[in-house]
Structure formats: C-alpha cells, structure tokens
Chains A and B, each alone.
Chain A
Amino acid sequence: MVSREPEIKGPNPSPEGPFQPDLSVEVAGIRMQNPVMTASGTFGYGKEFEGYLDPNRLGAIVVKTITVKPRPGNPPPRVVETPAGMLNAIGLQNVGLEAFLREYLPYLRQFSPPLIVNIAGGAIEEYEVLASQLSQVEGVAGIELNVSCPNLADGLVFGTDPHLLSFLVKRVRQVTRLPLLVKLTPNVTDIVLMARSAVEAGADGLSLINTLLGMAIDIETRRPKLANVTGGLSGPAIKPVALRMVYRVAQAVKVPIVGIGGIMAAEDALEFLIAGARAVAVGTANFVDPASCVQILEGIEAYLRRHQIARLRDLIGTLSTD
C-alpha cells in the first residue's frame, strides 16, 4: 500500500531547535498565521473574551453578523441545550453598521489577525450597502456573507436557492474588492450545488456549515423550548454532517473552504483539515470554554510535531480513501 503521509519538507529550523511547524494558511487571499478562526456569532465583537483569550493568537477574527440597521433579536428563551449540542434563535441581534464602525471596529483594529465581518440583509441592497461601506474603512480584511436569512421580497432563504444565491453574490461582488467568503447553510438538498453557484458568481472562499434547523419541546407544558419555536443546531452533534459537507464541497470547488461545525478540540479541527478545509472556525466551543480557540491551535501544532509535518498546508485535503 502506498503511504499518503505528507512529505516532510519546508522551513525546518536549526537541528538543535525544536521542530516548529509552519501553521500559516491563505484563505480567499487573506493571509493567516494559523488556521483557527472564530465562527461568526460565537465571539461577539471580541471584547467579551478579554481576559480569557488573546485575540492575537487567532488565525482570523470573524465577528457577529452585522445588518444595516440595529436588530433587537428574538424574545427569550433563545438558547436551549440538546444532546451534544445546542439550539439557538438569537435573531441576529446586533448594533447595526453605523454603531459597529463607530464603537466596535476601532477596538478590533488593534489586533493583528485579519478581521472578517459577517453581514446579512433582508434584501440584496442591504448586503450591497454593508459590503461597500465595509470596503471603505480601514481594518476589514474580508467579508463573509450570511445567506441563511430570508429574502424579504420573496420569502426564500438566499442560501437555499442557487439562482438567488448566485444573484446575491454577483451583486455583492460588484461593490467590493475585499475577499468575499460565502457562509453556506446546510439546510439544502445539495450543498455542492449551492457551493458551485456561489463560486461561479465570484465567491473567493466558502465557509461551511451554518447551523442545522431544529427544535425541542417541553413535554410537560407542550410548548417549544425556544420562543421562536425553531432554531439552529450547533455543537458536536452536527460535526459528522458538517464534515461530510466540507469533504464533498472540497472535491467540487477550487476555492478555499473554512470548515465549521462542532469543533470542540484539535482532533475535530484536524478532521476538517484532512477532509479539505483550508482553515477552521470554532463556534459553540467558545461558549463552553472561552479559551477554546487557543487550545485547539496548540493541539493542531502538537499534532504536526508528533507527525513531523513541516507545514500545515501539507496536511490539507490529504484524506486517503483507498
């Protein structure tokens, strides 16, 4: 049997020093010192993690979804734990573009990792406003489109219709030169179709997956456990689903993929990287332990050392199916 072990080469340090693997990656033209990013909506605007985690250790910072106008979000209860996961229906509560630029961006700019701003809108024009304004300010390295919200005009969720998705990405593409990531929803019949659609329309990279739709019921009161009735499932429960989707999409498109879904530990992140993700984003784990991203990063580094892999790049997409 032919070994598919990645070759050991690259910037190996002096013989007496410890083996220092190169963790850097490039995603959609964004250079990162390592592949560990934060998943949108789980890292707030960064400030919440002060004292728990040094943002400068991250590969990239992805902040909570911004909309043009502030959104109050959904009434509580908004979160509920489910087996090995959680459901959330926050309702995109956020301060709006203006307050983000004024109050949060200056704080985020002080950190060296690239900042990726996740945006959402109920109409294509809103995405355009967000993308073009974010392109004109200093300190934004890329844009991630949240396409899991319904288009107010026809009620369809942008990310579940390949034509609508293509139209949205093309329009946003025209107003920004910033690297453009599209965060795909798993609530579709064929995610590969959506991935191709986004890439053909000009996406520089794909993030997947967003949460899976789900619900939970209190049998004593016969009421839904979330005020919104349904919500998005995240956490370890969705990891196998996410992993398969990342694997399938990685085989179908050429752009870099950010793997997301239930990454709690370095082992989970490594699975995504081996499946073909260029980087990973950590979500629900940030809620369990605010230092998760750094622990995962250190675990990845230890794995590379243990396997004498000089560059993380040499590990990506090395899944052997023989």
Chain B
Amino acid sequence: MQAQVVANQEISPTYYRMGLAGPGLEAAWEPGQFFMVRIGPGIEPLLRRPFSIHWMEKGYLEILYRVMGKGTARLPSLRPGEKVDLLGPLGKGFTIPADLSVAFLVAGGMGVAPLRGLAGQILARWQASGTATLGQDRGPKIEVIIGGKRRETILSGEKLHEMGAEVHITTEDGSLGQKGLATNLLTEVIRKCQSIGSLPSIIYVCGPRGLLARVAQMAADAGIPCQVSLEEYMACGIGACMGCAVKTRTHPDSYQLVCKDGPVFDAQEIPW
C-alpha cells in the first residue's frame, strides 16, 4: 500500500515522528500492531523495516523512529509529499480487558512507540462502550512510566499527558523526571497500590528485553496480568521467513514468531 509523507520531524536528536496519509490506512487496528515500511525502491537497503503503530486513524498513520542503521538513516530525508510503501497492520497487538479500570503502561526509550496508540484505544473503547456517556464512572485510569538514559530519549510524554494519562518519567542521569530506572519507579507504584489494596488491572510494557524481563517478574510477583511487546530481526513481517523466532512456554519444542504470533505476548508465555 502506498502512503504519502505528511510530516517527518526530528522530535529529539536522532528521534523522529513521521505522519503518513493513505486511503488504504484503515480505522480498524490493534494497538501494538506494526507496519513493514519499505525504505526505498532499490535493493539497498533491501528489506523493509518494522515500525509500531504510534497512532492511527482512518487514512492516517504515525510512527516513531530512531536513526540507527543504514535503513533508518535514509528516513529523515523523506519530505512531505513523497510516497512510502507500507505493509500492514501486521501481527497480534495488545488485548484490552473489558473490565479494565487501571492500566500501567511502562516504556523503555523507544518502547513508548506502541503505547500511545494503546492509551488511545483504551480510551476509545471505553467511550464506545456507553458507560462514558452515562457519566457513571470516570473511565479507565492510565498511568504511564517512561524510562530512558537521559532527557533526549524520553518521547511522547506530553502527548500521553494530553490524552489524560498520568505520566511519570525517569532518567538514568536525572536530566528529566525522577533519577533512576523505570523499574524502580514501578516498584514504588506497585507497593503503593498494594498498601491500599487496589492493584492495576494490567501492566503493558515495551522496551529493551532486560526491562521486559524485570517488569514481567514484578508483575508475576504482584499477581498482576502483564503483556509485553517483543522485538526481533525479521525479513518479511508476515510469517514467511521465520526469522523472528521466539521461545514460548506454550510451544516448548519449537519457536513462535514475533511477527505473527506477536509482537505482543502474555509476559508469562516467555521463558525470561
């Protein structure tokens, strides 16, 4: 599917937000799903690159990316009006429990990419459910923890705040928000919840594997359901190359695929 670049801005050094418009972009999507983006028409770079849906609505898609290698290095030069070839939305995204009251969204650096779309979908579903209009409840509460090395790596905190989420930020060097790791803050927050006897309905997490593993453990210890979004090298994004293998507890004798069976998995499924 072809889409047209409508915006491509550097939001922090080496980090960009790209908006794409195309009639093929559907209103129906799951948060946590991704698109395979063709970097250029030639054979170098050869393969598409996967990007989470940061935001999507009918006819419009937004992705976050960081210039990392030879593929992403070409993206900043795309100007509004230029065409980009997309494949998606792909994979299985986050699932939102029907009775969700409080959700914790934990991001490590770029891991915030799928969480904005997730927050949006949580709110949209509640609004569509009918309870919103009755005014009987204030809707689901979304608490976001974004952790990063320094302030430049913290993205989309304001966007999430504007949506009504409570946003907590941690940086390892203390240049923004609380100094320390996202997991330290999460430990505190969970402890607070435990002390008042009201645990969150679910924890969603996306970021480096080490963060996912620690959050998965914390969630398991506290008895809170947890979903993780994984990352792995992939060539096709549709389950054909079988490159993005992941060991899961439900398939101990084989591998599942991040692109097709994921990228979102129940945290308990992964043998960390």
A-to-B contact residues, CB < 8 Å: 42-44, 48-49, 52, 64, 70, 72-81, 83-86, 88, 90, 93, 235-236, 264, 284, 286-290
Contacts and interface: CB of A to CB of B under 8 A. Distances in A.
A44 B240 contact: yes
10 contacts: A48-B238, A52-B238, A78-B245, A79-B233, A86-B47, A236-B43, A287-B235, A287-B236, A288-B38, A288-B48
B87 interface: yes
A78 B48 CA distance: 16
Nearest to B233: A77
A84 B246 CA distance: 26
Contacts of A286: 236, 240
Interface of B: 38, 43-48, 71, 85, 87, 232-236, 238-247, 253-255, 260
A118 B255 CA distance: 21
B238 A73 contact: no
B43 A73 contact: no
Contacts, number: 98
Given A48-B238, A93-B255, A76 B46 contact: no
Contact of A235 (B43, B48, B239): B43
Given A42-B240, A90-B243, A290-B238, A72 B233 contact: no
A43 B246 CA distance: 20
Instruction: State the 6 A-B residue pairs at the shortest beta-carbon distance, nearest first.
Output: A79-B243, A287-B236, A287-B235, A44-B240, A236-B43, A48-B239
B255 A81 contact: no
B241 A88 contact: yes
Residue of A76, A86, A93 with most partner-chain B CB within 10 A? A76
B240 A48 contact: yes
Given A79-B233, A288-B38, A290-B87, A42 B47 contact: no
B254 A70 contact: yes
Contact of A70 (B44, B87, B239, B253): B253
A235 B46 contact: yes
B233 A84 contact: no
Contacts of A236: 43, 46
Contact of A44 (B48, B239, B245): B239
B242 A78 contact: yes
B244 A76 contact: yes
A284 B239 contact: no
Nearest to A89: B243
A73 B87 contact: no
A72 B235 contact: no
A72 B238 contact: no
Given A72-B254, A81-B45, A287 B240 contact: yes
